[in-house]
Amino acid sequence: MHMLVKITANDDGDPTDNPDDWHLVDPSNHQGAAALCTQYFFGDGESAAEFEVKDVKRGGITCQLCLDMVKSFKAVKL
């Protein structure tokens, strides 16, 4: 399972550019919960942003930049 976040307002209470986009929460960021594409931190003690989170087994990412980043990760052959 992976976690997604929808950030609807920033720290100042201003609406974000794409308030309906679901972003992947960066699983490799060990400093705190952050959106993959922007590394924008959210959550208690991180920021005053307004957000929603959900856990999904598959899919659900609607942010094009997050999708492009995941595709580039998947292109790496180990």
pLDDT digits (tens, 9 = 90+) for 10-55: 989 999 988 899 999 999 999 999 999 999 999 988 889 999 999 9
User: For 64-77, what is the mean pLDDT?
Assistant: 97
Alpha-carbon separation of residue 27 from 12, 32, 67 (angstroms): 26, 10, 14
- Count CB-CB contacts under 10 A for residue 67: 15
Are the C-beta atoms of residues 24 and 64 closer than 8 Å to each other? no
Q: pTM of the prediction?
A: 0.90
Supply the pLDDT for residue 45.
85
User: For 63-68, what is the mean pLDDT?
Assistant: 97
- Count CB-CB contacts under 10 A for residue 1: 6
